[in-house]
Structure 1
Amino acid sequence: MHATLAAVGLSALVMSSAQALTVVKLLGGIYLVWLGVTTWRSARRGIEVTKRGRWRLPWARLGGFGQGLWSNVLNPKAASVYLTLVPQFLTSSRPVAPQIATLAVVHVSVVLVWLLFWTSVVAAARTLIDTPRFRRGTSRLAGAVLVSLGVRTVAAR
Structure 2
Amino acid sequence: MVHPYAVAGFLVAVLPLIATPGASLALLIRHVTDSGRRQALPVVLGTVTGLYIHATLAVAGLSALVMHSSQAFTAVKLIGAAYLIGLGIWTWRSAAPDTAPSRHQRPLPKGAGSAYAQALLANVLNPKAAAIYLTLDPQFVAPRQHFGGQILTLATAHALLIALWLTAWTFLLRRASHALREPRFKRTAARTTSVVLLALGIRSAAT
Q: TM-score, normalised by structure 1?
A: 0.87
1:81 aligns with 2:140: no
1:119 aligns with 2:170: yes
Partner of 1:53: none
The one-letter code matched in structure 2 to 1:13 is: L
Partner of 2:90: 38
Partner of 2:63: 11
Give 2:112's match in structure 1, choosing from 52, 59, 70. 59
Does 69-78 or 141-150 show the bigger shift?
Answer: 141-150
Structure 1: segments with no counterpart, 5+ residues: 51-55
In structure 2, how many angstroms separate the alpha carbons of the residues matched to 1:117 and 1:151? 28
SS at match of 1:59: helix
In structure 1, how many angstroms separate the alpha carbons of the residues matched to 2:57 and 2:151? 10
Give the root-mean-square deviation of aligned CA atoms. Answer: 1.6
Q: Displacement of 1:121 after TM fit?
A: 1.3
Q: Displacement of 1:17 after TM fit?
A: 0.5
Q: Displacement of 1:32 after TM fit?
A: 0.7
Partner of 1:91: 142
In structure 2, how many angstroms separate the alpha carbons of the residues matched to 1:119 and 1:144? 20
Partner of 2:152: 101
Q: TM-score, normalised by structure 2?
A: 0.67
* Runs of 4+ deviating beyond 2 Å: none
The one-letter code matched in structure 1 to 2:191 is: R
CA contact (8 A) 1:3 1:104 kept: yes
In structure 2, how many angstroms separate the alpha carbons of the residues matched to 1:98 and 1:145? 35
1:134–1:111: structure 2 CA closer, same or farther, 3 Å change rule? same
In structure 1, how many angstroms separate the alpha carbons of the residues matched to 2:167 and 2:192? 23
The one-letter code matched in structure 1 to 2:198 is: V
Q: Which of structures 1 and 2 has the larger relative contact order (alpha carbons within 8 angstroms, sep 6+)?
A: 1
In structure 1, how many angstroms separate the alpha carbons of the residues matched to 2:112 and 2:107? 18
1:48 aligns with 2:107: yes
